[in-house]
Structure 1
């Protein structure tokens, strides 16, 4: 039933068109012209919002828009991949990659069964299987350095 609510007139299309109308009224003072099938309307509203991202980034309503879009995304994800079926991966340890300022990234690295590599969710450094033996050594070295600095 939830999928029909998202696909129906008040679901995804309603949220996108409401924000498109609010953004357009705020920017140029007119209402958008809305026509077509629900699929066409979703595509058009999303494209119009995307086209005006430079304005939206400075708009006072940007935070609320982002919150509603995030909620839509979470609702859609819950339908196609319910939380109890999501793979959480095996926790490996902190990412040993060095940031441009010399600090260690430190984000939690995880290995997923469906993946052939490991990629840091923060710094996007990829660790292919050929580096995994070294990865453990790098992680251990970074953890030892933290203990020495803290002590």
Structure 2
């Protein structure tokens, strides 16, 4: 007898039909969640600065969880590690890792889905695999699709506030219904009251145009 992820006792295999189906759904969703987490990242420093107020204190990271999901040891690494472990358990060759991180997430998830019958019925690590995939999916879903969708806010763009070291914050700004009269940066805590929104939009648009121009120059070069 073995115990499934949902604590159901099984005579054969390691995942019941319901947990197997749920795991398949999570594997389909994880590459999409990986991509949807991108806008939540703190953009790289180096955007142009023009007349912004310097901060007195250095900002504290507010989206470390997003970085952990998108960085080393995150969604892509977990999927590829389980893919590699599954291949090794079947005496198969090690996966060939190529492509962008988005492509790698898709490929690893597809391979695990393709072998889900083996993972659920024959591999003694099947329960642990499903448990880790569930945890990863739930963590990413809590960020991308929180339970209180009204508090998700309207995406505005990167914060243009200048930090103490002269770099631009660049964290994702959102407007929440619960804070109608102001926009607050979750990274550096800069506050933009209603009367500054026109200037804020101009800053965001200016940064976006500069980034698009840089992308075009990179492609052309």
Match for 1:24 among 87, 92, 117?
A: 87
Partner Cα separation in structure 1 for residue 149 and residue 138 of structure 2? 13
Could you tell me which residue of structure 1 aligns to residue 144 of structure 2?
A: 80
Structure 1 residue 86: deviation in Å?
6.3
Could you tell me which residue of structure 1 aligns to residue 97 of structure 2?
A: 34
Match for 2:109 among 46, 59, 77?
A: 46
Structure 1 residue 31: deviation in Å?
1.1
TM-score, length-scaled by structure 2: 0.37
Structure 1 residue 8: deviation in Å?
1.7
Q: Which digits, 9 at most, give the CA deviation of each residue in 1:87-140, with x for residues without a partner?
A: 9xxxxxxxxxxxxxxxxxxxxxxxxxxxxxxxxxxxxxxxxxxxxxxxxxxxxx
Larger RCO (CA under 8 A, 6+ residues apart): 2
TM-score, length-scaled by structure 1: 0.53
User: 1:71 and 2:135 equivalent?
Assistant: yes
Conservation of the 8 A alpha-carbon contact between 1:5 and 1:11: yes
Could you tell me which residue of structure 2 aligns to residue 10 of structure 1?
A: 73
**Poorly superposed stretches of 4+, deviation over 2 Å:** none
Q: CA RMSD in A?
A: 1.7
Partner Cα separation in structure 1 for residue 145 and residue 120 of structure 2? 30
